Structure 1
Amino acid sequence: FGLWAAWLTWLGITVMAFLKVYHNYRQEDLKEFLLGRSSRRRSDVVDGKSGMI
């Protein structure tokens, strides 16, 4: 029973670590996507204003 419990605990920790890494990766990806999108929008506005002047 002890070996089975140890294996199950190791498996649980491994799954939780994988989920944490995956969540952090998705969060970074989403943040980069949103920041890239807003900076692109900002540069379009700046280009538009400089073109009008």
Structure 2
Amino acid sequence: MIEWRKQLGFDDGDIARIRSPIGLVPGAKSRPTLAIGILAEFASEAKQAGLID
């Protein structure tokens, strides 16, 4: 996967910022549960970046 991303033009810095799996909640079996996990990740990142209180 890393080589594929490099072929697409991503550099090592870009690749280092990739975090996965986003939104995966252990035991989640429904789309709403996965969506909440993704939104929680966004909120966490926004808070760390100082975009929200």
TM (norm. structure 2) is 0.39
Higher helix proportion: 1
With a CA cutoff of 8 Å and minimum separation of 6, indicate the structure with the bigger relative contact order.
2
